[in-house]
Amino acid sequence: MENTSRRSISGRLHSASRERLLRTLEAQHAPVSLAALALATGLHENTVRGHLDALRRDGFATRRAAPAAGRGRPAWLWQAAEPEASTPYAPLASVLAATVMRVSDDPVAEAREAGRAWGRELMAARAADEDAPRGESSARAAVVDLMREQGFAPDPQGDGTTVLLRRCPLLEAAARHPEVVCAVHLGMADGALQALGAERTATALEPFSGPSECTLRLLDAR
């Protein structure tokens, strides 16, 4: 298999862990913290710090100070040198998740219900879009396509009841408030399946189940 790792300025190929970290960084729509990257990749924070410093030195990554929060030196937020098109909603997601956690009696349930509404809305919009893919073999396949369009890089396993999500479009928010953000994403899958008339829905979302991936488990939604 061809080695797709990039090289440092010295000409040395990136290690597998450095390349994985860089790809995770490139997938983000907004700058992210070292802690979020460590959680997403499964690497120790000290390892991530060393890789980030090297990536910055080699021109693959940039950093800026996070907004001050109390005493002490502000943390760094990291971004790929040539990031994907950004969205203003990625930083907002952390604020909204924190607010839900603070004011709701049952933030996970409310987040999942909001996700269901979002999923139904997305699937309705997709149905009305003449350019959207057609002819999926099952509701599951349609949901996988929807999640691909939303930036999750889904990778169905076996019969499709298990889907590895190779990318989180809201990594920083998910690292800070996984209960809320992941409940929204699970609800989105629920709502999309409901909009397609599936009798069964998504059952579980395991955040950060492996390096740079989460695991979505679906029932046999036909």
pLDDT value of residue 159: 81
pLDDT value of residue 24: 92
d(CA 176, CA 181): 9
pLDDT value of residue 129: 63
pLDDT value of residue 21: 95
CATH entry 3.30.1380.20 includes domain 89-218: yes
Q: Where are the domains of the chain?
A: 16-80, 89-218
Question: Measuring CA to CA, how many Å separate 153 from each of 11, 108, 215, 217?
Answer: 30, 24, 12, 15
Continuous segment of H or E residues that includes residue 129: none
Give SS3 for 209: strand
Q: Phi first, then psi: what are they for 48, rounded to 5°?
A: -60, -40
Question: Measuring CA to CA, how many Å separate 43 from each of 21, 24, 105?
Answer: 9, 12, 34
Topology alike, domains 16-80 and 89-218: no
pLDDT value of residue 17: 93
Give the E-state strand segments of 98-190 in sequence order. Answer: 154-157, 162-165
Average pLDDT per 10 consecutive residues for the chain, totaling 222 residues = 68 90 89 94 95 90 80 82 60 84 92 92 78 62 86 85 87 88 92 82 83 83 50
d(CA 17, CA 143): 30
pTM confidence score? 0.66
CA-nearest of 160, 21, 31 to 86 is 31
Query: With contact defined as beta carbons under 8 Å apart, do 84 and 29 qualify?
Result: yes
pLDDT value of residue 198: 75
Write out the CATH class of domain 16-80: mainly alpha
Give SS3 for 208: strand
d(CA 187, CA 22): 29
pLDDT value of residue 69: 67
